[in-house]
A and B are shown apart, each in its own frame.
Chain A
Amino acid sequence: DAMVIQNPRYQVTQFGKPVTLSCSQTLNHNVMYWYQQKSSQAPKLLFHYYDKDFNNEADTPDNFQSRRPNTSFCFLDIRSPGLGDAAMYLCATSSSISPLHFGNGTRLTVT
């Protein structure tokens, strides 16, 4: 089945220690998104790639970076995680004619 796969499902990192979350897709969608979701809140868009073009949300902290080496893969880098960055990170994809398809997320814990 075509899908969006996120690894790892759970990630524990130390305060200030860089961490990378990964996402892959078999849907061949040209747009990939990273969302942050905190408990009982709606997903908040951090940034997205339209093909190779990176689009950052105005309020996304500089601490968050992303890479998309090819159509299928996208990475979220958190350079210096703080306690406030503990959340579920959701990767999603879409095309011009499709809705958002989400992965199951990576639950990040910062100790």
Chain B
Amino acid sequence: QQQVKQSPQSLIVQKGGISIINCAYENTAFDYFPWYQQFPGKGPALLIAIRPDVSEKKEGRFTISFNKSAKQFSLHIMDSQPGDSATYFCAARLGFRDTGNQFYFGTGTSLTVIP
């Protein structure tokens, strides 16, 4: 069962446009929601993250919007650039005191920004 559902699977955006990727979850025990950016041949890198007691977090051109009641969160990339072309994964963390945190990933969104 997919713990975190992500959409769309792929996204094509013009340079300067806004890229929006959505994720939804069911488990209300998740306590931390990171987004990872992955370029081909590289490991995922943390992009931005949010805790469920915050509705929005912005870092530069990247913003997470979080809707706790709807159990949804989204990544917005403003002024999208060709260098943003990558695969983006949302994730959710389940904290376990005795066995270590577990992270559940969405299925990924392949973003292409056209010059």
Instruction: Tell me the A residues contacting B by CB distance below 8 Å.
Output: 4, 6, 30-31, 33, 40-43, 45, 48-50, 53, 55, 90, 92, 94, 96, 99-105, 107
Contacts and interface: CB of A to CB of B under 8 A. Distances in A.
B49 A99 contact: yes
Q: Which has the most chain B C-beta neighbours within 10 Å: A42, A94, A96?
A: A42
A72 to B, nearest CB: 16
B22 interface: no
B22 to A, nearest CB: 15
21 contacts: A31-B100, A33-B103, A40-B108, A40-B110, A41-B107, A42-B107, A45-B102, A50-B99, A50-B100, A53-B99, A55-B100, A92-B43, A94-B100, A96-B95, A96-B101, A100-B44, A100-B103, A102-B36, A102-B45, A104-B43, A105-B41
B98 interface: yes
Interface of B: 32, 34, 36, 41-46, 49, 87, 89, 91, 93, 95-96, 98-103, 105-108, 110
Closest 9 CB pairs of A and B: A102-B43, A50-B100, A31-B100, A42-B105, A104-B43, A99-B34, A105-B43, A50-B99, A102-B44
